[in-house]
Structure 1
Amino acid sequence: MGGGPLVVIVLSHRHPAQVARLVDRIRTGTDTVAVVHHDPSGEPLTLRPSSDVALIPDARPCRWGRLSLVEAQWRSLRWVADNIPEFSWALLVSGQDYPIRPMSAIEKELAASPYDAYLRHFAVTSDPAEDTDPWQAVTRRRYLRKRRLPRTHRSVPLPFARRHPYRDGVGLYVGDMWFNLSAAAVHGMLADPLGDRLLRYLRYAPIPDETFICSMALNARPALSVANDSKRFIRWGPDASHPDLITAEHLDEIRAGDAFFARKVDVSAHPEIPDLLDQIAAERPSS
């Protein structure tokens, strides 16, 4: 897919020491840049910008389940495109993610990849008979038949389908917000007027981060080659609203997989995990 630095965008709001360690690990790549969007309403973060570390200027507060989280992704991608124009790929992680492979191996895999993007995604059609996962039915109601009340987290069902942008050849897609996008994918998405339409529509949608990037990438014209894989190790408990914390019990499964990052790491609950994940990465080939 071409040369240029790999950019890892970090969305963070807490645990500044953990974020600093994550950034240090990202910087171990041969040609990798860490770009940090830190929520100014969170714990203060002190990172010194350098040739391979950048802080998004004028970062804004991000709230879970609100459009502000999507806007932070979009604003970060635009900043990368404007300020690191020669980049090859852009990856999004949270401040509680952590690499589980050498960064140089991630660089090499993406440089040789036949894909334009890696995103875990599902199509949500108008026909429930086409569903392959119960989540599709949930998101069909969420994005087409519900509206979030302004200034709240509460959503109310509507007796009719909302007038939406998912028509005239534009499909509704849902999935993880943690993306891996080639430079060609990023530039094409940023130039697509669909972005403004979706941002307006999703302002009052529940949990818009689950659909925005997926819908932009899967509706791109010309079509992108998208692998249905986020390259993240994530585990969810039954009916959980947040991923499980990574513990020592996950290590064998992590070691057996090929994901780039693991989430969710919490050093206040399990301070040993970053060292254990470093050991796993060190055991793996760098190419």
Structure 2
Amino acid sequence: MEAGFAVLAHRAPPVCQRLVRRLLRLGDVYLHIDAKVTLEDFVPSGIEHLPGRLHLARRRFNIRWGSFAMIEATLALLAEMRATRPYHRITLLSGDSYPIFPDRRMREFLCSATEAISCQPVTRDSRRVRTERIFMPDTTMGTLKAQITDRFLAPSDVPDLLAAIELLQTRAEFLQRNPVHIGGQWWSLTGEALGRIEAFLQANPDFTRHFRYSAIPDESFFQTAFMKAVPHPERRVASPLHIRWDTKPRPFVFLLPEQITDLRASNKPFTRKVAEESAELLDLLDAEANSEA
């Protein structure tokens, strides 16, 4: 059963290079490098002997935190993957993630029928404002955390503004039909589940339009589509990534070799975020890759 990995990278090039090498032992890697950074810094060399194949994204997006460009980059990678071969499982990862499981245990997970994605309803959650209101996508005004003096509309933003006004009139009815679910951005889904999500998106083009004009859609787009499109969505498990949110700043950044104890105890296949200077920690994880644990 073939596994594919969709990787979105924008920071920590040394970690990304090591991640790609590890993943290529397990399957094919489709790598999107943010348009703001230098592509060559993230692409590892000497991978010709590894069993997996590395594919660089044909189109690179300028991704800003909380923008729909994150979804566009993911959808573009998925389209390239579907056009290449029918993967049993596709896992979406950040370039600063890393495998925790040894390879044998990882292959067991990748060959399983488990759907791993975090989805929580937000009907009574303060975060529902992200979709109840209209947010301008990828414009100066729509940039989250922008300076007050930078929040303005340019003439090129007018089509987005008119489209947003039109969508606002149908947003309440859309949310009734599509109860929003929220969760961590990163997931690992079977090809069957992703096929159902693709069919749902094609049959419901308004779904993508509405989420384009929402805030932080990477934490709700696939989660909501999964709950709508996949039979028995309650059988899923949570996100396959171990991410700690109990520190400030958040999330916690893994750096030191002794933190491998925390990673092992998580019982998760992957972790995030990994520091750029974490070579000793990654050496330990790599040393365990061929173990029988």
- TM-score (normalised: structure 1): 0.80
> Who is 1:153 aligned against?
144
**Residue 89 (structure 1) aligned with residue 89 (structure 2):** yes
**Residue 182 (structure 1) aligned with residue 190 (structure 2):** yes
Q: Is the 8 A contact 2:31 2:55 kept in 1?
A: yes
> Who is 2:156 aligned against?
none
Q: Is the 8 A contact 1:90 1:182 kept in 2?
A: yes
| Cα distance between partner residues in 1 of 2:194 and 2:105 | 22
Q: What is the CA-CA distance between 1:180 and the residue it aligns to?
A: 0.6
Q: Is the 8 A contact 1:20 1:47 kept in 2?
A: yes
Q: What is the CA-CA distance between 1:281 and the residue it aligns to?
A: 4.1
Q: Within 5 Å, which residues of 2 pair with 1:1-287?
A: 3=1, 5-29=2-26, 32-45=27-40, 46-47=43-44, 52-84=53-85, 86-113=86-113, 115=114, 117-125=115-123, 128=124, 137-145=125-133, 147-148=135-136, 150-151=139-140, 152-153=143-144, 163-164=171-172, 165-168=174-177, 170-193=178-201, 196-220=205-229, 222-224=231-233, 226-237=235-246, 240=249, 242-248=250-256, 250-268=259-277, 270-283=278-291, 285=293
| Cα distance between partner residues in 2 of 1:246 and 1:146 | 36
Identity of aligned residues (%): 25
Q: Is the 8 A contact 1:16 1:44 kept in 2?
A: no
**Which deviations, in whole Å up to 9, do the C-alpha atoms of 1:136-160 show, x marking residues without a partner?**
x23112221463584221599xxx9
What SS does structure 2 have at the residue aligned with 1:87? coil
Q: Is the 8 A contact 2:133 2:214 kept in 1?
A: no
| Cα distance between partner residues in 1 of 2:267 and 2:57 | 30
What SS does structure 1 have at the residue aligned with 2:4? strand
Q: What is the CA-CA distance between 1:213 and the residue it aligns to?
A: 0.7
| Cα distance between partner residues in 2 of 1:111 and 1:282 | 18
Q: What is the CA-CA distance between 1:259 and the residue it aligns to?
A: 0.7
| Cα distance between partner residues in 2 of 1:77 and 1:18 | 23
**Which deviations, in whole Å up to 9, do the C-alpha atoms of 1:112-166 show, x marking residues without a partner?**
33x3x211120122xx3xxxxxxxx23112221463584221599xxx9982422
What SS does structure 2 have at the residue aligned with 1:147? coil
Q: Is the 8 A contact 1:231 1:258 kept in 2?
A: no
| Cα distance between partner residues in 1 of 2:94 and 2:176 | 32
Q: What is the CA-CA distance between 1:247 and the residue it aligns to?
A: 3.1
Q: In structure 1, give the amino acid aligned to 2:187.
A: F
| Cα distance between partner residues in 2 of 1:99 and 1:280 | 10
Q: What is the CA-CA distance between 1:111 and the residue it aligns to?
A: 2.0
Q: Is the 8 A contact 1:88 1:182 kept in 2?
A: yes
Count of equivalent residues: 261
**Which deviations, in whole Å up to 9, do the C-alpha atoms of 1:165-213 show, x marking residues without a partner?**
2223x22100011011100011111111366323211223221111001
Q: Is the 8 A contact 2:65 2:144 kept in 1?
A: no
| Cα distance between partner residues in 2 of 1:258 and 1:252 | 11
Q: Is the 8 A contact 1:11 1:95 kept in 2?
A: yes
C-alpha spacing 1:154/1:246, structure 2 compared with 1 (3 Å): closer
| Cα distance between partner residues in 2 of 1:243 and 1:67 | 21
What SS does structure 1 have at the residue aligned with 2:176? coil
Q: What is the CA-CA distance between 1:79 and the residue it aligns to?
A: 1.4
What SS does structure 1 have at the residue aligned with 2:6? strand
Structure with greater helix percent: 2
What SS does structure 2 have at the residue aligned with 1:93? strand
Q: What is the CA-CA distance between 1:47 and the residue it aligns to?
A: 4.8
Q: In structure 1, give the amino acid aligned to 2:179.
A: G
Root mean square deviation, CA, Å:
2.8
Gaps of 5+ in 1: 129-136
| Cα distance between partner residues in 1 of 2:68 and 2:82 | 21
Structure with greater strand percent: 1
